[in-house]
Homo-oligomer: A and B are copies of this chain.
Amino acid sequence: MKSLSIKDIAVKANVSITTVSFIINGKAKEKSISEAVIEKVEKIIAESGYKPNQIARSLRTGNSNIIGLIIEDISNSFFSRIARLIEDKAYKRGYKIIYSSTENSVDKAKELINMFKSRKVDAYIISPIKGIEEDVKMLLEDGNPVIFFDRNLPDINTSYVGADHFNASYQSIQSFIDQGKKNIALVTTDINVEQIVERYDGYKKALEDNGIKYDENLVLKIHFNQEESETISQIKQLLEQKKIDAVLFATNYLAISGLKVLKQINKKIGDDFAIIAYDDHEAFELHTPGISTVQQPLEEIAENVIKLILKQLSSKAKPENQQIIIPAKLIIRD
Chain B residues with CB under 8 A of A97? 100
Chain B residues with CB under 8 A of A77? 75, 77, 80
Which of A66, A100, A108, A286 gathers most chain B CB within 10 Å? A286
The oligomer's copy count stands at: 2
Chain B residues with CB under 8 A of A55? 114
Q: Knowing A88-B103, A98-B98, A100-B99 touch, does A286 contact B283 (C-beta < 8 A)?
A: yes
Whether A7 sits at the interface, judged by CB under 8 Å, is no
| Chain A residues with a Cβ closer than 8 Å to the other chain, count | 41
Chain B residues with CB under 8 A of A74? 74, 80, 83-84, 87, 99
Known: A64-B118, A96-B100, A281-B282. 17 other contacts (CB 8 A): A55-B114, A64-B119, A73-B84, A74-B74, A74-B83, A74-B87, A74-B99, A77-B77, A87-B101, A91-B108, A96-B111, A96-B112, A99-B99, A119-B120, A263-B286, A281-B283, A283-B283
Q: Which residues of A contact B (CB under 8 A)?
A: 54-55, 64, 66, 73-75, 77, 80-81, 83-84, 87-88, 91, 96-101, 103, 108, 111-112, 114-115, 118-120, 256, 259-260, 263, 281-283, 285-288
